[in-house]
Chain A
Amino acid sequence: MGKIIKYVLYDILQNKIIIAYSLFLLLVSISFLSLENDSGKGTLSLLNIILIVLPLVSIVFSTIHFYNSYEFIELLIAQPLPRNKILLSEFLGVCIALLVGFAIGVGLPIVMLSFNQAGAMLLLSGALLTVVFTSLAFWASVITNDKAKGIGISLMLWFYFSLIYDGLVLMLLFTFGDYPLEKAVMVLTALNPVDLGRIMILLKLDASALMGYTGALYKNFFGSGYGTAIASAVMLVWAIVPLLLALRMFKQKDL
């Protein structure tokens, strides 16, 4: 498996998108973290950018990469290699590349400029979000052979998790405002990895009410290390389930 990952990584490094991505994140991180005097505020501003950019880049890049590697995958399928191994290697290769980009672009500045609990949590949830959206991208790419359709599905997933979902939750909260909804909201939050990532960081910042209604409620609900553990576990489920679905579909796919 390591051999295939090596070639996937080599291929990714050939096009310079990951390098541009790292540099962009680095620029944003340094400017936010050094412009704000209060490191908490800097982390918070960075959080907003990361929650939008990270999932978007992860899902779109992974989807495009998958379709561009179609020839490579075809070539490998005729070789004595199990299909699972081929798809997993592709997945791990893309994940590693995106995570290294994230580590350089955000990890480095945070460790050097404002390393605290909230910063560490930002790194953890950022890394988890990268894996989750790469996993979703692979699922979307295996569903269809049509590149445009695949990218469309990926973008819809991103729109849904980043924008539409919060709107739906807010609508629900306003409509049923007279009822005790805390438990329901907690469950609803777990159904969106972006919200989960946001909450993991909010729990470490004293800014619970800043970032959307769902986040604020979650803070009241947990407010302890217990919450972080649960959120991370649910995020891992979000990373594993789409990948397993993708593996299963890939096994039955005609190439």
Chain B
Amino acid sequence: MIQVNQLNKKFGSLHALKDVNVSFNTGQVVAVIGPNGSGKTTFIKCLLGMVLPDTGQILFDGQNIANNWNYRRHIGYMPQIGRYPDNMEVGQLFEMMKDIRTENNLAPITDTELLDSFEMEKINQKPMRTLSGGTRQKVSACLAFLFGPKVLILDEPTTGLDPLSAEILKAKIAREKTNNKLVLITSHILSDLDELVTDVLYIFEGDVLFYKPLQNLKTDTGEDKLSRAIAKIIQSGHKLTQA
């Protein structure tokens, strides 16, 4: 569904992504992990066309996404830090997004499950600037799922959410997985990912260190928890660099 070929991106002297080659298919839930500043968000922003790669290409359903915008109708994106117009009220924000997606006077089909579970109508009148970080995160999550997209890209989705909301969101992701959607998640909270993901993509300093099914990762390392498996790999990696 998404194919990334020889993707390179430099910010000045910083080589943020080095020859990234990966492909994603429907039904996969991919954990994109790696240390801070390793290029995860840059990679995600490349998929969204927010950051333009220097070389290489990204194919979405076989179509190159360069100078293309229509493919984004199939993507729901939850940014790491949701930034919204200060003066806009929560209700207005949702109305605007629906308005933008309306075509030929045909309102888009919306999935309001998260809106209901997060009780968004209670804060409909609140301006975005008055919302706490966690509530903002909930708004972002609702927006990402609102139009029932084929692909979900979630950048640190559970950070800042209270335990109950995090569980609601995780349950929602699990349901989307059974609906044969493609989900990409970055997170540092590996225990959150354990039950959800099918594959793990590990990026380190712009390089893809490995990309394999979670099951294989667990058998390779002999650990049954994602966090321990990753820890083991990082440790052995350090030994390699020290040697």
Decide if A81 is an interface residue (CB 8 Å cutoff): yes
Contact: B72 with A80, CB < 8 Å?
Answer: yes
Decide if B235 is an interface residue (CB 8 Å cutoff): no
**C-alpha spacing A82/B72, complex, angstroms:** 10
| 10 A-B contacts (beta carbon < 8 Å) | A3-B99, A4-B100, A11-B85, A15-B87, A71-B85, A76-B100, A79-B100, A80-B70, A253-B52, A255-B51
Question: Which B4-23 residues sit within 8 Å CB-CB of chain A?
Answer: 11
Question: Which A55-74 residues sit within 8 Å CB-CB of chain B?
Answer: 69-72, 74
**Size of interface on B: residues with Cβ below 8 Å to A:** 26
Contact: A79 with B52, CB < 8 Å?
Answer: no
CB distance from A9 to the nearest CB of B (A): 13
Question: Which A7-51 residues sit within 8 Å CB-CB of chain B?
Answer: 7, 11, 14-15
Additional 5 contacts, C-beta under 8 A, given A3-B96, A71-B84, A79-B101: A4-B100, A7-B96, A11-B87, A71-B83, A79-B97
Q: Would you give the 0/1 interface string for A216-255, flagging 1 where the beta carbon is closer than 8 Å to chain B?
A: 0000000000000000000000000000000000001111
The residue in chain B whose Cβ has the minimal distance to the Cβ of A4 is B100
Count of A-B contacts with CB under 8 A?
59
* Residue picked from A15, A78, A83, A253, most chain B C-beta under 10 Å: A78
CB distance from B147 to the nearest CB of A (A): 10
Decide if B79 is an interface residue (CB 8 Å cutoff): yes
**Size of interface on A: residues with Cβ below 8 Å to B:** 24
The residue in chain A whose Cβ has the minimal distance to the Cβ of B95 is A7
Interface residues of B (CB under 8 A from A): 11, 45, 48-52, 69-73, 75, 77, 79, 83-88, 96-97, 99-101
User: Which chain A positions have C-beta within 8 A of B96?
Assistant: 3, 7
Contact: A252 with B99, CB < 8 Å?
Answer: no
**C-alpha spacing A83/B100, complex, angstroms:** 14
Contact: B85 with A69, CB < 8 Å?
Answer: yes
User: Which chain B positions have C-beta within 8 A of A83?
Assistant: 69
User: Which chain B positions have C-beta within 8 A of A75?
Assistant: 83-85
Listed from nearest, the 9 A-B pairs whose CB atoms lie closest are A71-B83, A80-B73, A80-B72, A254-B51, A14-B87, A78-B77, A255-B50, A72-B85, A82-B69
The residue in chain B whose Cβ has the minimal distance to the Cβ of A251 is B67
Contact: A255 with B101, CB < 8 Å?
Answer: no
User: Which chain A positions have C-beta within 8 A of B97?
Assistant: 79
User: Which chain B positions have C-beta within 8 A of A11?
Assistant: 85, 87-88
**C-alpha spacing A11/B69, complex, angstroms:** 25
CB distance from B66 to the nearest CB of A (A): 11
Question: Which A77-103 residues sit within 8 Å CB-CB of chain B?
Answer: 77-83
CB distance from B107 to the nearest CB of A (A): 13
Contact: B52 with A252, CB < 8 Å?
Answer: yes
**C-alpha spacing A254/B88, complex, angstroms:** 25
The residue in chain B whose Cβ has the minimal distance to the Cβ of A7 is B96
**C-alpha spacing A254/B87, complex, angstroms:** 25
